[in-house]
A and B are shown apart, each in its own frame.
Chain A
Amino acid sequence: MDNPDLLLLARAQFGLNIGFHILFPSLTIALAWFLLYFRVRYARTGDAAWLATYKLWTKVFALTFAMGVVSGITMSFQFGTNWPGFMNRVGNIAGPLLGYEVLTAFFLEATFLGVMLFGMNRVPAWVHIGATALVACGTLLSAFWILALDSWMQTPTGQVLEGGVLIAGDWLKVIFNPSFPFRFTHMLLASGLTASFVVAGLSAWRLLRAPGDASALRTLRTGIMVAAVIAPLQIFAGDQHGLNTLEHQPAKIAAMEALWNTERGAPLVLFAVPNAQTRHNDFAIEVPKAASLILTHELNGEVKGIDAFAPDTPPVAPVFFAFRFMLALGGLMLALAWSGAWFLRKDRAPAPWLLWAFAACTFSGWLATLAGWIVTEVGRQPWLVTGILRTEQAVGRIPEASLGASLTGYVLVYTLMLGAYMVVITHLAGKGTTAAKEARA
């Protein structure tokens, strides 16, 4: 690649788009199952409060889903506009996976979303519940295909070269590649945590404005309980995912741990400022031999450092910081979910500090998810498809002025959309409280 600015701009644009996009699916994948739960509870009990709950969260869902759809359409075009080399080289594998996502998931979600949102009074209850369930299945299928593709790009298996063309030799191996089960589980749990914190956080917000709102208290409980179950599972799944990465992408682990040099008895770097110039950590706080112990289960086990993989090494600092940020958020979410579960036991009323804490952490799942994706996507550089295609080989030759102009446009539109989204979501939560007040009055 003769033009590093172009590559940087193209990466900035794609990173912005995919980072913006992932926010919304990571919420809807799990929120759909919350909706199904609310809908079924309403069908079982006939309680109007469950109906109101369902309707409120359906509005949040519809808005989030629309944001995901429109930013997702952008992605499907950008493969061609920004990364033509990607489809040229691995199109025979990436293409069918994306094709199956469109065919099996997108139409299913989009069509039954219409029935779910607007059909409640037009179809029998069981059809409406079915539509809600199909929307939930659609979001899950979509995640399945896209994570299969991403995992294959990280740890490719099942492909063969035939006459210089890369094709799938064994589709099952392509889909169920070594990192897929871990990444898929990790992402689904991330979605579960994101959604349960949004549900708990917005409910806490409603309770702060209208204490004693029964419907908000109920969803607060639901959100906290789900989070309390998922948070420890996620920490376990993340650890397993890390061990899988150590086996298949050791360079990423070296970057996550900021280990510049291969050594026996490697220290665990708690905090540092990785310096790419000197290939050293400044201001390092380390636990001697701990990295060796964790990664190899031996005090003097050998851990490969960045130097072992030169020159194909990822940038260390962003991966290192993003990883620590994700861990810190994970710990915070676990602590908060468990304290919430403890203080709400046996139908106790929530204390204001607890409500404030959950309201403040409404979107903590988004931050953790973004940090996690930065770890895994920056950590696989310079490869786009590990060992097969470099990122710089895939970028298209778009005039920089066009790239710059469209990037500016995307930044403006995304800022507007995200701002409006936040305003409307909090506004919706507020509306729920006024409705509850009127109902009491």
Chain B
Amino acid sequence: MNLDLPLIFAALMGVAVLAYVVLDGYDLGVGMLMPAADAREQELMVSSIGPFWDANETWLVLGVGILLVAFPVAHGVVLGALYLPVAAMLIGLMLRGVAFEFRVKAEGWHRELWNWLFYLGSFLASFSQGLMLGRYITGFESGFGYLLFGLVVGASLCGGYVLLGATWLIYKTEGTLQKKALAWARWGLLWVALGVAAVSVATPFVSQTVEMKWFDFPRTLGLMLLPLASLAAWIGVWRATRRLSRGTAGAADWAPFAGAVAIFVIAFIGLAYSLFPYVVIDRLTFWDAAAHPSSLKVVLVGALIVLPFIVAYTAFSYYVFRGKARPGLYD
């Protein structure tokens, strides 16, 4: 059997990146919401993500790992071009990662300092990731318009992560914090709507390749299903949060989070469609950049054996820490 290995790895990388964005997205979002909460609520917020954040971040390492293993040429091109935003993101991730530990062990103004670094690190990492995405879509072109586009994507991704974080808190908390989270989720939704609209409208202007893919009748008609599905998910989250705020019987606390994830999945499919088959837009396709088949095979075998275990014990961990977050996780 002749496998199209580069295609398989492109799909695997897509899954890893999507898993990262959704999973670390909610814990980065919770981090960005920290300044809006009081001290007691902050403890609950950190408790809701404490057992998960480390594994969530590992998906980033896997995504970059697949880029490195399967598309070594692209790894150099992409990360070289994104040098500064990558460095900013890494510094952000470092600060927030250690702040988890430091903020509970420090006292007095030290604790305040680490709370702020936790918040700032979350924001810096999220914004840099959006900026990286913006630069990536435009093929790393330089110029004011492209930079502006990158900044808009950065801001939009922050909004998306805030939405994920807020809906995660709706799911994992109760009482006054959940009420606050419902309000945050509403703001996140508006932010996301603006961001997705701006990015969707602007993308065809900054990239001809993307424009040709979307404005090609009659295919365009079929493609319109994606924005429609996205709109449906958006309305779904809006209604679910309204039902929860009003305390409607039978309103599901997980529904807003599920809807937010759906918005991300749909946006991701749209993005993947826009870029395919390029790993570096207009320059390198997946097949151009692929590593030698012998290496790809060896990694594929390992991935097929190990991934089911990873999924299984990740599920186990979410099962162990099911239900509402409780305070005093870090004592």
Contacts and interface: CB of A to CB of B under 8 A. Distances in A.
Contact of B106 (A62, A91, A162, A424): A424
Contacts of B307: 103
Interface stretch (B83-91, B135-143, B240-248): B83-91
B50 interface: yes
Residue of A59, A66, A69, A96 most packed against chain B (CB within 10 A): A96
Interface string A69-110: 111111011011100110110011101101110111011101
Interface stretch (B66-74, B159-167, B184-192, B276-284): B66-74
A36 B317 CA distance: 19
A45 interface: no
B98 A114 contact: no
Q: Interface residues of A toward B: which range?
A: 35 or more
Residue of B72, B86, B303 most packed against chain A (CB within 10 A): B72
B174 to A, nearest CB: 18
B198 interface: no
Given A81-B80, A81-B86, A168-B294, A95 B51 contact: no
A81 B90 CA distance: 12
B73 A88 contact: yes
B328 to A, nearest CB: 10
Given A107-B58, A420-B98, A406 B320 contact: no
B94 A71 contact: yes
A145 to B, nearest CB: 11
Given A66-B98, A84-B76, A168-B295, A77 B58 contact: no
A428 B105 contact: yes
Interface of A: 59, 62-63, 65-67, 69-74, 76-77, 79-81, 84-85, 87-88, 91-93, 95-96, 98-100, 102-104, 106-108, 110-115, 117-119, 122-123, 162, 165, 167-168, 171, 396-398, 402, 405-406, 409-410, 413, 417, 420-421, 424, 427-428
A100 B299 contact: yes
Interface of B: 50-52, 54-55, 57-58, 60-62, 64-70, 72-73, 75-80, 82-84, 86-88, 90-91, 93-95, 97-98, 100-102, 105-106, 114, 291-292, 294-295, 298-299, 302-303, 306-307, 310, 313-314, 316-317, 320-321, 329
B80 A396 contact: yes
Nearest to B81: A81
Contacts, number: 206
B327 to A, nearest CB: 12
Contacts of B303: 99, 103
B61 A167 contact: no
Contact of B51 (A59, A106, A117, A397): A117
A95 B72 contact: yes
A409 B93 CA distance: 13
Given A63-B105, A112-B313, A118-B329, A81 B83 contact: yes
Contacts of A396: 76, 80
Given A396-B80, A402-B83, A410-B91, A92 B62 contact: no
A85 to B, nearest CB: 8
Contacts of B294: 92, 167-168
Contact of A110 (B54, B80, B291): B54
Nearest to B56: A110
Given A63-B105, A110-B58, A424-B105, A95 B64 contact: no
Contacts of B320: 115, 119, 122-123
